[in-house]
Amino acid sequence: MNYISINEIKAWDRFYRANFVNCLSGFKPASLIGTINKEHKPNLAIFSNIIHLGAEPALIGFINRPLAASPHTIANIEATNQFTINHIHPSFVSKAHQTSAKYQAGISEFDETGLTAKYRENFSAPFVAESNIQLALELVEIISIKHNETFMVIGSLKDVYLDKELLLNDGFIDIQKSGSIVSLGIDAYYSCLPVERFEHAKINTEPAKKQIV
């Protein structure tokens, strides 16, 4: 096992450092976030830090990079209070990655990548029709993280769209079956395979295994 200090990391080339540090936190929950601006122009962008915040109330957050790097999604959410989260599958991972190109405001990444915007009644932000798990969220709060000018955007879950065949009888969702991917670093995508599922851990006993799917 080798030791690498923060001073060594700071001295590295910027892109080498970005690849390295982005991998340290582990595989990341990547999804496509759909929004719309006040002129009804849709926006779609891949985000790789989707955060489960709690089940009751059902809150999901994500990290938005500094405004200079990633301005459109957060501006649209501030304008409309709405966004969608759409899981990504291997069949369109290339298109999902392409949404990270620096398109100008008002350009629809749906048009540019060929992904299909799906609109539903009572919600203005677009979903990704190709996605097997689609969520509608309403803005709760945007928290500024002063140390690097990023933001945590917190949404309240409103609607879920998925195939109920993915639901196990305890509420667990078999998102592996539906093909949800994870990301690693700034440009790599992975599928997941079951290792183990356990019963709730209790003091003085070994964790009992559960059937995973």
Residues 103-132 that bind a second copy (CB under 8 A): 103, 112, 132
Footprint on residues 139-158 left by a second copy (CB under 8 A): 140-141, 143, 145, 147-148, 150, 152, 154, 156-158
Q: Minimal distance in Å, beta carbon 39 to a second copy?
A: 21
Footprint on residues 184-203 left by a second copy (CB under 8 A): 184-185, 187-203
Q: Minimal distance in Å, beta carbon 32 to a second copy?
A: 11
Give the integer Cα–Cα distance in Å for 182 and 60. 17
For residue 57, state whether it binds a second copy (rule: CB under 8 A).
Answer: yes
Torsion 19-22-25-29 (CA) sign = negative
For residue 102, state whether it binds a second copy (rule: CB under 8 A).
Answer: yes
Footprint on residues 58-87 left by a second copy (CB under 8 A): 58-60, 63, 85, 87
Give the integer Cα–Cα distance in Å for 65 and 103. 16
- Cβ count within 10 A of residue 171: 7
Footprint on residues 166-185 left by a second copy (CB under 8 A): 167-168, 170-173, 175-176, 180-182, 184-185
> Reduced to 3 states, what is the DSSP secondary structure of residue 32?
strand
Q: Minimal distance in Å, beta carbon 38 to a second copy?
A: 24
Give the integer Cα–Cα distance in Å for 50 and 72. 17
Sort 77 into a burial class: Cβ within 10 Å, 0-12 / 13-18 / 19+.
Answer: buried
For residue 41, state whether it binds a second copy (rule: CB under 8 A).
Answer: no
The H or E element containing residue 7 is helix 6-10
